[in-house]
């Protein structure tokens, strides 16, 4: 990411705005009294999955994605979709292991970051 793109991102206060607007929709996992991670989705799109580094590899991401996928399916959506960046190989491995497939890739034009975004999709089984 260019210095200019990083500065624009910081100046936008986008993370603070996102949390302020959507926090009530976050589904949180707490471990030993601390937030270990959260997931946020709307309709069939997972907008955020974050796991605190202290809880990486402990099943928090799996627990959160199991919930998101089950609720997305229960709402009648045949697929779950999300985006990640090509540099984020750890997230790609996690999602690919869960059955997500790459459906598209495109440049990050929103932030002019010279990064490439991947659109991933997974077919879901109908939930009762």
Residue 61's domain comprises: 3-123
* pLDDT (0 to 100) of residue 124: 97
**Is residue 51 one of the residues assigned to a domain?**
yes
Q: Total structural domains in the chain?
A: 1
**Is residue 101 one of the residues assigned to a domain?**
yes
- From first to last of its 128 residues, the chain has per-residue pLDDT tens of 667 777 777 787 877 888 888 889 899 999 999 999 999 999 999 999 999 999 999 999 999 999 999 999 999 999 999 999 998 999 999 999 999 999 999 998 776 778 899 999 999 987 66
> What CATH code is carried by the domain that includes residue 78?
3.40.630.30
**Is residue 128 one of the residues assigned to a domain?**
no
In angstroms, the Cα distances linking 19 to 73, 81, 84 are 25, 20, 19
DSSP β-ladder status, 27-31 and 45-51: unpaired
Asked if residues 102 and 93 have their Cβ atoms less than 8 Å apart, the reply is no
């Amino acid at each position: 990411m260019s210095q200019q793109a990083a500065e624009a991102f910081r100046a936008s206060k986008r993370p603070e705005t996102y949390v302020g607007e959507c926090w009530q929709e976050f589904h949180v996992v707490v471990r030993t009294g601390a937030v270990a991670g959260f997931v946020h989705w709307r309709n069939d799109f997972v907008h955020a999955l974050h796991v605190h580094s202290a809880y990486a590899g402990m099943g928090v991401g799996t627990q959160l994605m199991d919930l998101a996928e089950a609720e997305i399916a229960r709402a009648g959506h045949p697929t779950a979709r999300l985006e990640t960046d090509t540099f984020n190989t750890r997230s790609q491995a996690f999602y690919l292991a869960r059955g997500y497939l790459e459906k598209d890739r495109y440049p990050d034009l929103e932030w002019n970051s010279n990064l490439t975004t991947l659109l991933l999709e997974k077919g879901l089984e109908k939930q009762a």
